[in-house]
Amino acid sequence: MKRAIVLLIVLITALSWGCSNNDVIHVSGHIDNPGNVKTVAFYEGDRKLDSVYLADGNKFKFERQATQPRLLSIAIGNNKYPVILTPGEPLKFVADMHSPEDYQIEGSELSSALKDFAPYQRRKEFVQDSLQGAFAKATLNKSAEEIESLRFDYLTEFKSKLSAYTEHAVAFAEQNKNLAGFYAISTLDPEIAEAEIIAYADEIEDKFTDNRYVSQFKEETKKLKRLAVGQPAPEIESFTPNNKTVKLSDFRGQYVLVDFWASWCAPCRQENPNIVKQYHAFKDRGFTVLGVSLDNNPGSWMRAIEADNLAWTQVSDLQAWNSDLVVNYRIKAIPASYLVDPDGKILAKNLRGKALEEFLQQTLN
């Protein structure tokens, strides 16, 4: 009887070990030439999960209970490496900080797929940083008008080059119907690839349902979709300086630039002359503007309207950033704008300077 109990305990222990091995994500490896780096950190999205110290031989090991694959980033100094850790599949990771891009991965096909995608992502980041640096250098000692013109040129180039990255990411996701494909799509810029992000979120609506990172992506995409090009613009109901109620739906049948601005916003005031110019150029072709101010001081608001010669309808609830419209339109910074078509659907977003003029010429001619 005693021997049977001992055997039963051994069997239960073995079974529990086997079960726990299949419910653990595991990565180990070593970092050559780490320099001042003493730890390896692990992130899920922007959330730091844990960090481990480099041991003798600059080795490290990370384990965590998990019942599903997890999309994480291994952070070593300023370098981050995306990996997909699957329970029961120990991952080996090796990197040399003298050549941080030449890292090695063993034990995970999904992580190896991400490694194949990494050069495209590095190229995108290089182009992005280069263009931002060139723009900053080019705008030194330039006037506001010159800066706005340069901004249009650089933004056009930026969108063109990121369009190629979008194509690579979408193609990669088509070939990888798994978390590796999801990762590629999650790196896209919503300003450039709104339609592609929404289409992919719809495609994976019933997939990866237990993955926290994917769930966050789906929730954010739902918010993005609500204000996407082609969607009905949320209703606006607010008050003119004369306390008259005005609605966005009052302008049906016209192209309406919904312009979020404020008297205290310097970039908004710099853009106002351009909007004035476009308003007078196209107002007889079915175009108008609805100014929505984030002011809380009625005097400052009305003085700015007069000073900037804003001849179109202006509204504000004088709640500034506490306005419901800030939430409804997901305004995070101003100036911000939505161009709404005659049927009340969003046609374009955040058009400024030359971009607004060119879009109106193409649309209204």
Report pLDDT digits (tens) over 245-286: 999 999 999 999 999 999 999 889 999 999 999 999 999 999
For position 258, what pLDDT does the model report? 98
Query: Domain coordinates of the chain in residue numbers?
Result: 19-107, 115-226, 237-364
pLDDT class of 145 with cuts at 50, 70, 90? low
Helix (H, G, I), strand (E, B) or coil at 226: helix
For position 150, what pLDDT does the model report? 74
May I ask the CATH class of domain 19-107?
Answer: mainly beta
Residue 103 φ/ψ, nearest 5 degrees: -95, 160
Task: Identify the H or E element spanning 281.
Answer: helix 266-282
- Per-residue pLDDT tens digits for 96-142: 999 998 899 999 999 999 999 988 988 888 888 888 888 888 888 87
Residue 91 φ/ψ, nearest 5 degrees: -105, 135
Contacts of range 145-149, beta carbons closer than 8 Å, 24 or more positions apart: 148/270, 148/271, 148/274, 148/352, 148/353, 149/353, 149/354
For position 148, what pLDDT does the model report? 66
For position 134, what pLDDT does the model report? 83
The letter for the amino acid at 2 is K
For position 259, what pLDDT does the model report? 97
Q: What kind of fold does domain 237-364 have according to CATH?
A: Glutaredoxin (3.40.30)
- Model confidence, pTM: 0.78
Neighbours of 101 (CB within 10 A): 11
CA distance 171 to 196: 11
CA distance 205 to 231: 19
Helix-helix angle 190-203:144-175, to 10 degrees = 20
For position 40, what pLDDT does the model report? 95
For position 59, what pLDDT does the model report? 95
For position 261, what pLDDT does the model report? 96
Question: Considering the chain, what is the average pLDDT of its residues?
Answer: 89
pLDDT class of 21 with cuts at 50, 70, 90? low
- Whether residue 193 contacts residue 306, with contact meaning beta carbons closer than 8 Å, is answered with no
Least confident among 2-11, 155-164, 181-190, 245-254: 2-11
Average pLDDT over residues 209-223: 89
Rounded-to-10 torsion of CA 263, 269, 272, 273: 130
